[in-house]
C-alpha cells in the first residue's frame, strides 16, 4: 500500500483559541483508496483536510505528500494544489464567479494552461459532472446540488490526483447523491484517491475502502471498515457503537456481537472493490 499523505506528530491551533484543533496527529493516507474520515463535530476533520492542501501550516510536526515533506513556498504550493483538489462544505464559499463556465475555468488558467486547453478542460469536467447544460447560467441561480457539482467540476478541471471533499453530501438529495457517487467512482476508477469527511456511517461501511476516525483532534483509528467494525475498543471509546446501529439500517444491534467477533457477509462486502452500489429509498447505501 503506497502512502499518499503522511502526518507526523502534527499539531494545529486556531489563532485565538486555547485548545489545539489537532493534537499530535500521526496517520498515513493510502494512495488509490476511497478514504472516509469520520468524527464528531469539531473533531478536527476540516482542519486535517486543510493541511492536505498546504492551506494550513502545522504548528509542530510535519505533513508529507508522496514521501516528501510539504514545502510552503509559492512554486511548491502551486504544484501541490494542482495535485490535491478540494471541495468544501458549503459550495457557495467556493464559487466566486458569476458565470458557471468562467468559474470552472479559474483553476485551469491558474495552472498556466492556454485558453483553448482551459476551454477543453471546462467542457470535459462539465461532462463528467453532468452540468454541460448549466455552463451559461449565472452561478447564483443554481440549486444546492447544482452548485456542489459545479464546485466539483472546478476542481476536476485541474486534473488532480487526489480529491479532498469535506462533507459534500450535506446539500445533496438522495438522487443527487447517487449521481455524485457515480462521478466519484469514475474518478476513483482512474486510480485516483478520494478523501471524504462524512457523518454518514453507511458511506463508511459500504463506500469507503479505508477509514480514519478522529476524536478531539486525535486520530484514534485508521484501517479498513472491516477492521473498524471488529475493533470493539475504538467503537466504544468513540461511542460509534452507540450510534451506528441507529443511523445505519443495515447495522443490527443484536447482530453487533457477531459483527464484532466474526465477519458477517455485510462487513465482508466493505472491501469488495468494483461492486455496484445502490440506494435504498431513504438515501442510505445498500449492496
Partner 1 sequence: MQLIERYAYTNRLRTVPPDHKAAVALLVLLLCLALDRPAVSIACIAWMFLLVVPVAGVPARTFGRVLVVEGGFILMTIPGILISIGPSAPSDSTAWSWPLGPLWISTSAATLWQGIALVMRALGCAAAMNFLALTTPLVDIIELLRRWHIPSVLIDIMTVTYRSIFVLLESANTMYIAQDSRLGYLTSRMRAIHNAALLASRLFVEAYRRGKELQIALESRGFNGDLRVLPMTYRFSPLFTVLGAVIMANLVLLWAMA
- Give dist(CA 174, CA 163) in Å, integer: 21
CB of 101 to partner 1, least distance (A): 6
Q: Binding residue for partner 1 (CB under 8 A) from 96, 133, 186, 253?
A: 96
97 is an interface residue for partner 1 by CB under 8 A: yes
Least distance CB 252 / partner 1 (angstroms): 39
Choose, by CB under 8 A, the member of 63, 70, 122, 134 that binds partner 1.
Answer: 122
Q: Which is nearer to partner 1, 107 or 225 (CB)?
A: 107
- Enumerate helices (H) and strands (E) in the chain, giving the number of each: 12, 12
Helix H segments across the chain? 45-52, 74-83, 100-110, 115-128, 144-156, 174-189, 201-202, 225-229, 232-237, 240-247, 253-261, 265-268
Spatial distance between the Cα atoms of 171 and 177, rounded to a whole number of angstroms: 9
Q: How far is the CB of 182 from partner 1 (least distance, A)?
A: 23
CB of 35 to partner 1, least distance (A): 18
Is residue 17 a contact residue for partner 1 (CB under 8 A)?
no
Which residues between 18 and 77 bind partner 1 (CB under 8 A)? 50, 53, 55, 74
> How many other C-beta atoms lie within 10 A of the C-beta of residue 237?
14
Q: Residue from 43, 126, 153, 158 that binds partner 1 (CB under 8 A)?
A: 158
- The x, y and z cell numbers of residue 53, run together, are 492542501
Question: Quick one: how far is CA 3 from the chain centroid?
Answer: 16
Region from 5-13, 109-117, 167-175, 230-238 binding partner 1, contact rule CB under 8 A: 109-117
CA distances from 10 to 27, 36, 143 (A): 9, 19, 38
Grouping H, G, I as helix, E, B as strand and the rest as coil, residue 201 is helix
CA distance 172 to 58: 32
Q: Check residue 102 for interaction with partner 1 (CB under 8 A).
A: yes
Interface with partner 1, residue 94, by CB under 8 A = yes
Q: Which residues of this chain interact with partner 1, rule CB under 8 A?
A: 50, 53, 55, 74, 78, 81-82, 85-86, 88, 90, 92-99, 101-103, 105-107, 109-111, 115, 118-119, 122, 137-141, 154-155, 158
Amino acid at each position: 500500500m503506497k502512502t499518499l499523505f503522511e502526518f507526523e506528530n502534527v499539531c494545529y491551533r486556531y489563532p485565538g483559541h486555547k485548545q489545539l484543533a489537532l493534537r499530535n496527529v500521526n496517520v498515513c493516507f493510502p494512495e488509490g483508496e476511497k478514504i472516509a474520515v469520520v468524527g464528531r463535530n469539531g473533531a478536527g476533520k476540516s482542519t486535517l483536510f486543510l493541511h492536505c492542501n498546504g492551506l494550513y501550516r502545522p504548528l509542530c510536526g510535519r505533513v508529507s505528500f508522496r514521501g516528501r515533506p510539504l514545502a510552503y513556498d509559492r512554486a511548491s504550493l502551486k504544484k501541490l494544489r494542482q495535485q490535491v483538489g478540494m471541495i468544501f462544505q458549503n459550495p457557495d464559499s467556493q464559487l466566486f464567479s458569476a458565470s458557471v463556465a468562467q468559474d470552472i475555468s479559474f483553476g485551469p488558467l491558474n495552472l498556466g494552461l492556454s485558453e483553448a486547453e482551459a476551454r477543453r478542460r471546462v467542457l470535459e469536467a462539465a461532462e463528467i459532472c453532468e452540468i454541460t447544460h448549466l455552463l451559461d447560467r449565472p452561478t447564483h441561480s443554481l440549486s444546492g446540488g447544482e452548485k456542489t457539482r459545479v464546485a466539483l467540476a472546478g476542481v476536476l478541471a485541474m486534473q488532480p490526483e487526489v480529491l479532498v471533499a469535506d462533507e459534500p453530501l450535506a446539500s445533496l438529495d438522495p438522487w443527487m447523491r447517487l449521481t455524485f457517487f457515480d462521478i466519484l467512482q469514475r474518478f476513483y476508477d482512474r486510480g485516483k484517491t478520494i478523501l471524504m469527511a462524512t457523518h454518514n456511517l453507511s458511506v463508511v461501511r459500504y463506500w469507503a475502502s479505508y477509514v480514519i476516525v478522529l476524536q478531539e483532534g486525535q486520530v484514534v483509528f485508521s484501517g479498513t471498515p472491516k477492521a473498524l467494525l471488529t475493533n470493539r475498543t475504538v467503537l466504544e471509546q468513540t461511542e460509534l457503537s452507540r450510534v451506528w446501529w441507529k443511523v445505519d439500517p443495515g447495522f443490527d444491534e443484536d447482530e453487533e456481537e457477531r459483527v464484532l467477533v466474526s465477519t458477517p457477509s455485510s462487513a465482508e462486502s466493505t472491501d469488495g472493490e468494483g461492486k455496484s452500489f445502490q440506494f435504498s429509498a431513504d438515501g442510505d447505501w445498500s449492496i
